[in-house]
Structures are given as structure tokens and as C-alpha cells.
A = this chain, B = another copy of it.
Amino acid sequence: MFEVEAKIRVQSLAAVRARLAELGAEDCGATRERDVYFNAPDRDFGKTDEALRVRYSAQEQARLTYKGPKEKGYGAKARTELSVAVDHGAAMEEILGKLGYVPVAEVNKKRHYFRLPGASIALDAVVGLGAFVEVEAAPELTPADAIAAVDRTVKTLGIPGDYITLSYLEMLLSKQATQ
């Protein structure tokens, strides 16, 4: 799967939530997500711009997700994403440990999912980082249509601000490094 998404920092999620209601967005429910990120034994994911994580969610089974390097030349963030649901997150973490992967950081957030035609929207309150809106294109779109859908949705939502290309993991690690 090729993931196209935009992330924008907002002062308050309440205004975005109100706008979503106005637009008749589908409310797909809120959840808490805890992401445990790992680094590899044979390379530094920080340098290769890859990510490997186990996600624990209040709503679903645990998931193992790999994200490839971000692709250049898009305003929105685009990268390969591969994911499987696993029946036991702790055992998955143990297997990664045996293979030499090391947990490097945790991202904890409250996330509220919404859907508009062509895009899904997440309102995120991230522990230690603040409030963000993530707009992700529907997976069935071509890359060009996906980028257009993301840009259109951001405009419709009326969220000012630049697209942040850093992941929450990168933002947290960079915050830790400057503390």
C-alpha cells in the first residue's frame, strides 16, 4: 500500500470537529493508540527513513506496521506502508527482540477518526507534542488523485498551516534530543 497523508498542527481540535460535523463527515470512533517503535540490528531506521512499530489500540487487534522511506516531490507525505494484525502484540515484540530489533520510543495518543469522500481524517492529541489533524487519502486512489484528495480535504476543513512531513516519532525524538 502507498500511503499519502498530510499532517497539520492545530491549536484546538474542537473547531475541526465542528467543521467535520457541518460537512456531514462520518464519525468512525475514537480510540487510544500506543505505538512502540523499533530500530533495526543491520541499519539505522533514523538514517534510512524507515519505521517499524507495534501498535496497540483500544479498538482493534495489535498491528505490526512497516513504513518505507518518504518519497520526494510531494507536498503531502507519501510512503510505502505494510501492516498485519497480530493476535498477540507482546509476543510480536518478543520475536522482534530475538531478531535484534530494539524499542527506541513510544508514541501515545488519543485519536478520533472521521471519513469524508476520498479521505479519512484523524484528530490526534499526542502526549508530549500537542494537537494535530492527519488527512489520509483513500487507499484505492492513484497517487495523483490521492494528493488532490488530501489537498482538497485540507482546504475544505479550513485548517491553516504547513504540512508537517515529520512523523510523531521523529518529532518526539527531535524534542528529546534538544532537551
Say whether chain A's binding surface is mostly helix, strand, loop, or mixed. Answer: mixed
Tell me the number of copies of this protein: 2
Smallest beta-carbon distance A39→chain B, Å = 12
Q: Report if A98 contacts B (CB, 8 A).
A: yes
Interface residues in A56-104 (C-beta closer than 8 Å to B):
61, 64, 66, 68, 80, 82-88, 91-92, 94-95, 98-100
Whether, in the assembled complex, A22 has its beta carbon less than 8 Å from a beta carbon of chain B, the answer is no
What residues on B are CB-neighbors of A52 within 8 Å? 99
CB A76 to nearest CB in B, in angstroms, measures 22
Q: Does A125 contact B (CB under 8 A)?
A: no
Contact present for A82 and B91 (CB under 8 Å): yes
CA of A83 to CA of B94, assembled, Å: 9
Taken together as a complex, chains A and B put the C-alpha atoms of A103 and B144 apart, in Å, by: 34
Across the interface, do B82 and A98 meet the contact criterion of CB distance under 8 Å?
A: yes
CB closest residue in chain B, given A63 = B87
Q: A98 near B41 (CB under 8 angstroms)? A: no
Asked if B99 and A91 sit within 8 Å, CB to CB, the answer is no
Which size class do A's interface residues fall under?
20 to 34
A95 to B82, alpha carbons, bound, how many Å? 6
Task: Assess the B42–A98 pair: CB atoms within 8 A.
Answer: no
**Nearest-Cβ distance from residue A53 to partner chain B, whole angstroms:** 11
Answer whether residue A141 sits at the interface, using C-beta atoms and an 8 A cutoff.
no
Alpha-carbon distance between A50 and B98 when the two chains are bound, in angstroms: 10
Chain B residues with CB under 8 Å of A131's CB are: none
Q: Report how far A85 CA is from B53 CA in the complex, Å.
A: 17
Partner of A84, one of B50, B82, B91, B99: B91
A41-B42, A84-B95, A86-B87 given; 12 more Cβ-contact pairs under 8 Å: A40-B100, A61-B87, A64-B86, A64-B92, A64-B95, A68-B98, A82-B91, A82-B94, A84-B88, A85-B86, A85-B87, A85-B88
